[in-house]
Amino acid sequence: MNVLEIKKSVGVLEKARTQNDVTTLRETLTQLKTGVKATEKLLRETKVGVAVNKLRGHEDSQVANLVKELVKNWKDSVSAEKRARKSESTGSSTTTTTKKEEVITSQVKDEQAIAKNITSSNSTKPLAPRTMSGDGVKPNIQDPSRSRSIGAIYGAVALETTLPSEEILKVCVDIEEAVFEKYQLTDNYRNQLRALIMGIKNKNNTQLRNNILNRSIKAEELAIMKSKDLAPPTLQKEFKQLHEKNLFDAQGAVEKRAVTDRFVCGKCKQREVSYYQMQTRSADEPLTTFCTCEKCGNRWKFC
């Protein structure tokens, strides 16, 4: 498939995703799987990786599996391309042939691993982690502490994505700037970044990472989000259930009251009185009766 055909497929994917047309999604993803030979330039130019990533958490299992295969295949192809390019640019004339053989061998191993992953329906092996240095990018910032923070965010956000490194870096820079503007270089700055990175790196938080990369969640929102807000949906549900249970357990016991007309309120002279009894003195003494007038709220007790 050429660039125009891929861009057309991206438009079809977006429309089918909006309309939840599962059949079209399956057909288009299958065409991309067989017709696209991924390169970093091609992915950056067509934005096909962004469109495919949006379907990672799709409810249809076949669509979700096709997306995972595409992401894995494209990630491996781009990595192999970078290794080959780096080898060609740094190798001397006497070692060029040897290094090319190493690249070819690595590509063969990658292809074998991809084939094994496709044929094994139960395979859940994660993608190799991405880093700023590994992707060859660096933030344009002088403060080494802030630069390390951006690198940590990059490593968390870049899990399971084939997006170009420049796009990922821009997202990470925006997040760090938002946190820095709110807290400066204080303990709150470090604590917020730590909570963000731990939440984003959670292996069950694929949807959160996708939302960050496609900017469904803004950097300013992430700067104030708490750990519980960054947790995966299943864990958030558990938090909610635990909170409700704790509230229930914290409620004090309420006395069982009975309403009778046997007692007369000394204040309003009405006979609608609720009462309950408790042992307030020694066991051989009679119970104490506590009365409340349901009309005026007057209270009294007697033994």
- Predicted confidence at residue 3, as pLDDT, reads 80
Q: What is the pLDDT of residue 22?
A: 85
Structural class in CATH, domain 3-119:
mainly alpha
Residue-level pLDDT at 178: 93
Residues of the chain within CATH 2.20.25.10 domain(s) are: 258-302
* CA gap 63, 28 in Å, rounded: 10
pLDDT of the residue at 292: 94
CB 285 within 8 A of CB 303: yes
Q: Which residues, 6 or more positions from 101, have their beta carbon under 8 angstroms from its beta carbon?
A: none
Contacts by 174-183 with C-beta closer than 8 Å and gap 24+? 174/219, 175/212, 175/219, 175/222, 175/223, 176/146, 176/149, 176/150, 177/219, 178/219, 178/220, 178/222, 178/223, 179/149, 179/222, 179/223, 180/146, 181/223, 182/223, 182/224, 183/223
The answer to pTM > 0.85 is: no
Chosen CATH of 258-302 out of 2.60.40.10, 3.40.50.1220, 3.40.190.10, 2.20.25.10? 2.20.25.10
- The CATH 1.20.930 domain(s) of the chain lie at 3-119
pLDDT per residue as tens, the chain (303 positions): 788 888 888 888 888 888 888 888 888 888 888 888 788 888 788 887 888 888 878 888 888 888 888 888 888 888 888 888 777 766 655 555 565 566 556 665 665 565 555 444 444 445 568 888 888 998 988 899 999 999 999 998 888 888 899 999 999 999 999 999 999 989 999 999 999 999 898 888 888 888 999 999 899 999 998 888 888 777 767 767 776 666 656 554 455 678 889 999 999 999 999 998 888 887 788 888 999 999 999 999 988
User: What local confidence, expressed as pLDDT, does residue 188 receive?
Assistant: 92
Cα–Cα distance, 284 to 280 (Å, whole number):
11
- pLDDT at residue 263 in the model: 92
